[in-house]
Amino acid sequence: MKLKTALLTLQPTTACNLRCRYCYLPHDQPTTSMSVETAGRAVDNLADAGLIGSELRVSWHMGEPLLAGRLFFEQAFSAIRRRLGPGVAIRHSIQTNATLLDRDWAAFLRDHDVAVGVSLDGFAALHDANRRFASGRGSFDRALNGIARLHDAGLVPAILCVVTAGTLDYGKELADFFYDHGLRRLSFNPEEIEGENRTTSLATDAAGRAEDFAAFLQEFAQQTDSRGSDMVIRELQEIEDALDDERPRASGTCLPWHHVTVNAQGGLSTFSPELNSMTHPVHGSLILGNVHLDHVRDIRWNDRFLRIWQEIRQGILNCRALCKDFMLCGGGSPSNKLAETGSFLASKTLACELATKASAAVVRFRRSMKIK
């Protein structure tokens, strides 16, 4: 069966009102906003290449998407629907820092059936340590107010929590915090070396930090268990699903055109969304073309793309040959490999040790305890 695009990530603006310490995007770039025509051309290009199936997830991400304004989203949603027609189920989602959310925004997102992800690193001391406005003021109070407006509108956001070294001692406290604020869908992203972020507080000792990260996840999960919570931790759930499936999982970020990213100017890339803002020491910019000038049907077969895909594919084969946990992730993230090692060929990254392997250790331990 021919592979289809499952996820289209669109960057509606390069602007952001925060200056997060670990952000992988450059903050000194000129502010650019996506046009409705660019959004439409993005889906036209994929449809023209035969990459649109019966369902497409559209993720509005990178920068602070809400800065693009409600009128833009209203028009972009309509343009994408009009271009794809009624035969394609379109699932919109947005990742926001929540500081701009008010009642009007919450009602708009609810009325347009947009799944909302909020970046929230926990209680104030943890969140404000890294997620600040350009003035240096912490963003916690504004983010929590935005989440309250979502709840008022009947929306329950999924939470993206970046874990730094400062987070690891607070598994119990974070579980209580998220539980008490009615937040039940969580994802814990270890602070990564990626894009503009060239360091991580978790990099001092990969093995030790992986053990610490696993201990954090275990403490968090135990605390939610004790409260009878229906909380879902994405990383643990994905490992559970992989172990139950008992087959190698294909990582969408490793498959050509399964994930496609288009930036505000129309620059198009595939594999990991983060690659859209990265460069390779040999291949140069990982942007493969522009939706206004180039066609995916042509890019898919040009020499430059095929060389990049060959290297990423070899990296997947290296992971399969050398990693006992290959079945759990299907080859890891090309953007992590490139950022940490300068190559797509790596079979081991810090991101892998902290996320996949630590999560797997927790799931296997919890399963062993249930058996006993």
User: E strand or H helix at 289, and its extent?
Assistant: strand 289-290
Residue 190 in tokens: 């270890």
Long-range pairs of 224-230 with CB within 8 A, sequence gap ≥ 24: 224/175, 224/179, 227/175, 227/179, 229/175, 229/179, 229/184, 230/184
Residue 9's CB is within 10 A of a number of other CB atoms, namely 23
DSSP code for 100: T
- Cβ-contact 59, 95 below 8 angstroms: yes
Bridge partners (DSSP) listed for residue 121: none
Residue 210: the pLDDT is 86
Dump the DSSP string for 306-322: HHHHHHHHHHHHHHHHH
d(CA 361, CA 355): 10
pTM score, two decimals? 0.94
Residue 207: the pLDDT is 58
- Cβ-contact 94, 61 below 8 angstroms: yes
Q: Which residues contact 195 (CB under 8 A, 6 or more apart)?
A: 23, 24, 25, 26, 274, 277, 278, 335, 339
Residue 124: the pLDDT is 98
Among 292, 188, 170, which Cα is nearest to 237's? Answer: 188
pLDDT in tens, the chain (372 residues): 478 999 999 999 999 999 998 887 776 677 899 999 999 999 999 999 999 999 999 999 988 999 999 999 999 999 999 999 999 999 999 999 999 999 999 999 999 999 999 999 999 999 999 999 999 999 999 999 999 999 999 999 999 999 999 999 999 999 999 999 999 999 999 998 777 777 888 876 655 688 899 999 999 999 999 888 789 999 999 999 888 886 666 678 999 999 999 999 999 999 999 999 999 999 999 999 999 999 999 999 999 999 999 999 999 999 999 999 898 888 989 999 999 999 999 999 988 888 899 999 999 999 988 765
d(CA 202, CA 208): 9
Distances (CA, A) of 193 to 24, 43, 118: 8, 31, 21
Residue 118: the pLDDT is 98
Residue 26's CB is within 10 A of a number of other CB atoms, namely 10
Among 13, 61, 92, which Cα is nearest to 261's? Answer: 61
- Cβ-contact 147, 193 below 8 angstroms: no
Question: Scanning the structure block, which residue is given the tokens 């497409």?
Answer: 56
d(CA 202, CA 81): 42
